[in-house]
């Protein structure tokens, strides 16, 4: 009997009608202010950033070479299938929490906690990764102006290589911590103000990217594309087709933006109409940008030289006098663009804390909303956690952890669509995934293949993170769960 009761507790589901009623009446103190254009800007703001300004160079240098363009296309296909599934869910269940909320309604509390904890990993390490990229571009810009910060304040405290972990001699990556603090203060001003700041930044960074492409075309050396698919080194994931696959898994993180959009569904004026548009338009536009920029970047400079924190800035500097005038604009555009990614990722991270806390699986302090409609404590905590991780850990470890967390979340969304179509066919769906017997399965398949191509060390770190999450759930969440204590 005790076993049955325990099983019933951990697999209990939230009633979808109750979720929609609660969101539609009280809205949890959050304010519905976002429009379709706001959502597209937020999507582009989140997608176009570290993926295009940082990860492109590193993935080309370490995994795929010029064929990273194929990696981006593979990732885009997986994202389109997953994006269709996100669009169906976001329109059907327009609440904060993204995949966490969807899983709670379809698979039960334990699975919802698991994916919610995975989302925290995804957004926390995404913010941290982007902040490290911002630091690289800021240091490059300052160096061009003749000003260099002390080494002890510009690098991560720890480094990781095949030999294991080591100290770098640096105290902390101060610029990364600094930008996180600035973004946290912007987010605390309110969702409307944050969306306005993001829109301005998006215009700036897209203009700079298009300027780089237009000017860079004249400096492409086609010999840098030969061989287009470098020969495999004998190790899985180091060039060749396995390198293209691993590259696609690493850069998958670059498409995280449309996932973040689903976390603000509860703050969208007309989520049933606007969420699918915002997700799909921003995803397709950014996929095209990624492929074009990667082609130009690897054409300007040999891929083997791109394993740096600021590859586009490095490529511009490599050209020399011909494009020297563009260098400061590229760096300023990158700094602005990456800032918007941090803003949207931290917004998403705080909404995940809010949603989980609202169900009492995390302390209720995180679901407190201030007079501006902002989950204040969740936002401050997201800022502190992000700043510490960005300041202490290197880019390569952070980006791989983000990729595996993102892939897992996307795969679960694809599977959840199929489950909910079977278990709750009666629920109104303003947007439906076309060819539902195929697209969600393909989305889950693309995610699984890319997850399997990631290094074993990344899987071990994911396992450790998951174990920590289950400890928290069984020591705290299961006892305080809102469903378990309905009177509270």
Rounded CA-CA distance 169/434 in Å is 54
When pLDDT is cut at 50, 70 and 90, the band that residue 29 belongs to is low
Q: What is the mean pLDDT of the chain?
A: 82
Instruction: Judge residue 167's burial from the number of C-beta atoms within 10 Å of its C-beta, 0-12 exposed, 13-18 middle, 19 or more buried.
Output: exposed
| pLDDT above 60: residue 424 | yes
| pLDDT above 80: residue 102 | no
Cβ neighbours, 10 Å, residue 435: 11
How does pLDDT run across 37-55, given as a tens digit for each residue? 888 888 888 787 666 777 7
| pLDDT above 80: residue 144 | no
How does pLDDT run across 220-263, given as a tens digit for each residue? 888 999 889 988 888 888 888 888 988 887 777 677 667 777 77
Q: Which of 2-11, 86-95, 348-357 has the lowest mean pLDDT?
A: 2-11
When pLDDT is cut at 50, 70 and 90, the band that residue 488 belongs to is very low
What superfamily does domain 30-480 belong to in CATH?
Amino acid/polyamine transporter I (1.20.1740.10)
Q: Which pairs with CB-CB distance under 8 Å and at least 24 residues apart come from 484-488? A: 484/9, 484/12, 485/360, 488/360
| pLDDT above 50: residue 128 | yes
- Overall average pLDDT of the 75-101 stretch: 81
| pLDDT above 60: residue 176 | yes
- Overall average pLDDT of the 152-156 stretch: 76
Higher pLDDT, 183 or 321: 183
When pLDDT is cut at 50, 70 and 90, the band that residue 2 belongs to is low
| pLDDT above 70: residue 301 | yes
Residue 180, pLDDT score: 93
Cβ neighbours, 10 Å, residue 226: 10
| pLDDT above 70: residue 390 | yes
When pLDDT is cut at 50, 70 and 90, the band that residue 164 belongs to is low
Residue 487, pLDDT score: 42
């Amino acid at each position: 009997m005790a076993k049955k009761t325990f099983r019933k507790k951990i697999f209990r589901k939230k009633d979808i009608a109750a979720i929609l009623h609660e969101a539609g009446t009280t809205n949890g103190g959050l304010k519905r202010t976002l429009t379709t254009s706001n959502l597209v800007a937020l999507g582009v703001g989140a997608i176009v950033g570290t993926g295009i300004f940082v990860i492109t160079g590193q993935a080309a240098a370490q995994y795929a070479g010029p064929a990273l363009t194929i990696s981006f296309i593979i990732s885009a296909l997986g994202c389109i299938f997953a994006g269709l599934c996100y669009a169906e869910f976001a329109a059907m269940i327009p609440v904060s929490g993204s995949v966490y909320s969807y899983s709670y309604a379809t698979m039960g509390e334990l699975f919802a906690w698991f994916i919610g904890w995975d989302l925290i990993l995804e957004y926390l390490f995404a913010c941290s990764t982007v902040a490290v990229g911002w630091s690289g571009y800021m240091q490059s810009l300052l160096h061009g102006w003749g000003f260099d910060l002390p080494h002890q304040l510009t690098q991560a405290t720890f480094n990781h290589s095949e030999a294991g972990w080591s100290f770098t001699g640096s105290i902390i990556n101060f610029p990364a911590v600094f930008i996180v603090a600035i973004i946290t203060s912007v987010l605390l001003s309110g969702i409307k103000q944050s969306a306005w700041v993001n829109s301005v930044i998006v215009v700036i960074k897209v203009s700079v990217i298009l300027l780089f492409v237009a000017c860079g075309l004249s400096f492409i050396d086609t010999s840098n594309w030969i061989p287009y698919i470098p020969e495999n080194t004998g190790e899985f994931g180091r060039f060749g087709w396995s390198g293209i696959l691993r590259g696609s898994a690493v850069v998958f993180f670059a498409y995280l933006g449309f996932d973040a959009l689903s976390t603000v569904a509860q703050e969208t004026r007309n989520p049933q109409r606007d969420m699918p548009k915002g997700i799909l338009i921003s995803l397709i536009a950014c996929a095209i940008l990624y492929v074009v920029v990667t082609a130009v970047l690897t054409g300007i400079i040999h891929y083997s030289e791109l394993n740096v924190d600021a590859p586009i800035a490095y490529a511009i500097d490599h050209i020399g006098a011909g494009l020297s005038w563009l260098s400061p604009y590229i760096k300023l555009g990158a700094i602005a663009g990456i800032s918007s990614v941090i803003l949207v990722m931290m917004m998403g991270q705080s909404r995940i804390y809010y949603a989980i806390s609202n169900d009492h699986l995390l302390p209720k302090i995180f679901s407190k909303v201030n007079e501006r409609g902002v989950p204040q404590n969740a936002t401050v905590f997201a800022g502190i956690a992000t700043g510490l991780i960005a300041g202490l850990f290197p880019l390569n470890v952070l980006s791989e952890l983000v990729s595996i967390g993102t892939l897992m979340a996307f795969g679960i969304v694809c599977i959840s669509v199929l489950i909910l179509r079977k278990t709750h066919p009666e629920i109104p769906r303003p947007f439906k995934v076309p060819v539902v017997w195929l697209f969600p399965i393909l989305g889950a398949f693309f995610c699984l293949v890319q997850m399997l191509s990631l290094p074993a060390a990344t899987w071990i770190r994911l396992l450790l993170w998951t174990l920590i999450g289950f400890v928290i759930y069984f020591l705290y969440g299961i006892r305080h769960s809102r469903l378990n204590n309905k009177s509270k």
